[in-house]
């Protein structure tokens, strides 16, 4: 433990690299799903003290992708604001800025993750075949609205962190029969994407949460491959606090690339610029330490064998929690990992992930 911790702390004190020793990642992204909500509550995003458009700030720092989540019928509480109308509005801004779009279907009215895959209220009570039909039609019809608004995504996640399946209980993958049902639902979503995009421009990501857990990743993708689910990218969440230090991620990335020959994206990650448990952040919880962590993460992804490491998306970078407004409790817990300080000023970590030269 002391060896890798010392190495990472040394890396965390390195200055001015801006990932100069790493190839430019094709996908340099951030999730901005809450940016409209924050702006509506008076939050202002700044560059060197001057208010500016949040999406433009990320673009200026070298980002080329924005990720937006989509909920079915959110109730507006605890950050669950990502309705179709809200998300299309943000997507139009993303496309107008010249950036690419990743759309993250949650297939739920609220947060979807490994511990929560709640079937939307209006879909509950459907049998399996009806659920398959619903997933196809919802996906197709939703993307048709993005197309009509001129903001069709470039990349789609069919489900969010679906390590344990989706649309529970029908699509919970706790048995062979459950895996079969889950695969049916995934294929229905993928068919819905293709039906809305006959040109085949949209790429598909399958996203699980266990960035540094090789055995879980193998279990999941072995089952998926056995059922011939077609997709383009393996997506992983990697949060040091939950997933451990970078060597575990590096080992898993190398395994996935060599085993499945798929391109890989870190669909979610974050790092502390203050606070946190130093035994679980692995880098100093300072603006410089946050930047150093992301520089090392970029190098890790860029070094995946055979060029299969394609990109990174930061999660919660816009979650400013102090300064211009009184943030609710559900938001304040994430402020230590934002990419902006309490006054809304961009932190140095934006250059690290956007790979903008100093």
Is the distance from CB of 276 to CB of 241 less than 8 angstroms? yes
Residue 271, helix vs strand vs coil: coil
Residue 325, helix vs strand vs coil: coil
Tokens 């010249």 locate to: 98
Q: Which two tokens stand for residue 256?
A: 């996935």
Helices (H), 155-271: 176-196, 214-226, 240-243, 246-260
Angle, vertex CA 181, rays to CA 179 and CA 183, nearest 5: 65
In angstroms, the CA 54 to CA 61 distance is 11
Options 157, 161, 295, 318, the catalytic residue: 161
Closest listed residue to residue 11, CA positions, set 246, 290, 293, 274: 293
Strand 309-314 to 263-269 pairing? parallel
In angstroms, the CA 137 to CA 135 distance is 6
Known catalytic residue at 268: yes
Known catalytic residue at 318: no
Options 157, 268, 295, 318, the catalytic residue: 268
Tokens 């020959």 locate to: 261
| Residues classed as catalytic | 161, 268
């Amino acid at each position: 433990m002391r060896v890798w911790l010392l190495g990472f702390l040394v890396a965390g004190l390195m200055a001015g690299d801006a990932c100069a020793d790493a190839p430019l990642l094709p996908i340099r992204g951030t999730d901005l799903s809450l940016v409209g909500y924050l702006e509506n509550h008076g939050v202002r995003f700044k560059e060197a003290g001057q208010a500016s458009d949040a999406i433009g700030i990320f673009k200026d720092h070298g980002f080329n992708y924005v990720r937006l989540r989509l909920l079915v019928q959110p109730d507006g509480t605890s950050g669950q604001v990502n309705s179709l109308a809200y998300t299309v509005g943000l997507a139009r801004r993303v496309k107008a800025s010249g950036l690419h779009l990743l759309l993250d279907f949650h297939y739920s009215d609220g947060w979807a993750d490994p511990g929560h895959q709640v079937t939307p209220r209006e879909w509950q009570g459907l049998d399996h075949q009806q659920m398959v039909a619903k997933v196809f039609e919802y996906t197709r019809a939703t993307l048709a609205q993005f197309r009509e608004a001129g903001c069709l995504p470039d990349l789609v996640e069919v489900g969010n962190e679906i390590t344990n399946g989706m649309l529970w209980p029908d699509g919970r993958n706790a048995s062979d029969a459950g895996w079969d049902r889950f695969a049916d639902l995934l294929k229905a979503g993928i068919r819905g994407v293709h039906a809305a995009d006959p040109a085949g421009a949209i790429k598909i990501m399958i996203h699980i949460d266990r960035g540094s857990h090789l055995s879980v990743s193998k279990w999941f993708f072995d089952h998926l491959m056995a059922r011939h689910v077609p997709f383009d990218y393996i997506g992983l969440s990697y949060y040091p606090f939950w997933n451990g230090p970078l060597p575990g991620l590096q080992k898993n990335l190398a395994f996935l690339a060599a085993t499945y020959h798929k391109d890989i994206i870190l669909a979610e990650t974050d790092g502390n610029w203050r606070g946190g448990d130093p035994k679980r952040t692995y880098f100093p919880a300072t603006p410089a330490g946050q930047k150093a962590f992301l520089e090392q993460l970029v190098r890790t992804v860029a070094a995946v064998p055979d060029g299969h490491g394609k990109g990174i998306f930061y999660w919660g970078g816009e979650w400013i929690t102090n300064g211009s407004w009184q943030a609710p409790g559900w938001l304040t817990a994430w402020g230590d990992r934002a990419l902006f300080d309490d006054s809304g000023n961009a932190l140095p970590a934006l250059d690290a992930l956007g790979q903008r030269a100093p």
